[in-house]
Amino acid sequence: MTEVYEAFRAAGVDDSTAKAAAGAIPLAHDVATRIDIERVRQEIAEFKADIYRALWLQGLGIVTLTVALLRILP
């Protein structure tokens, strides 16, 4: 931010405007890159797969329990 502020000051921008403009520009380490976004998408896809797997296992457990109870109880 200091470099941007100094560049504005060197260009003749007044102090308060230079501070406001420099503060409005996001720093490079705060901005998500395409790689970051792709990584998040991949993590979401893996999480969804885990959720679907757990859902199927729960369904299988419910069916198994229902069949067992129907055989035990007349």
* Same-domain check for residues 45 and 70: yes
Tokens of 36: 């970051």
Measured from the Cβ of residue 18, the count of other Cβ atoms closer than 10 Å reads 19
Residue 3 exposed, middle or buried by CB count within 10 Å (0-12, 13-18, 19+): exposed
Domain count, the chain: 2
* Same-domain check for residues 16 and 37: no
pLDDT tens track for 30-58: 788 899 999 999 999 999 999 999 999 99
pTM over 0.85: no
Q: Are 23 and 15 in contact (CB under 8 A)?
A: no
* Same-domain check for residues 7 and 23: yes
Tokens of 26: 């996001």
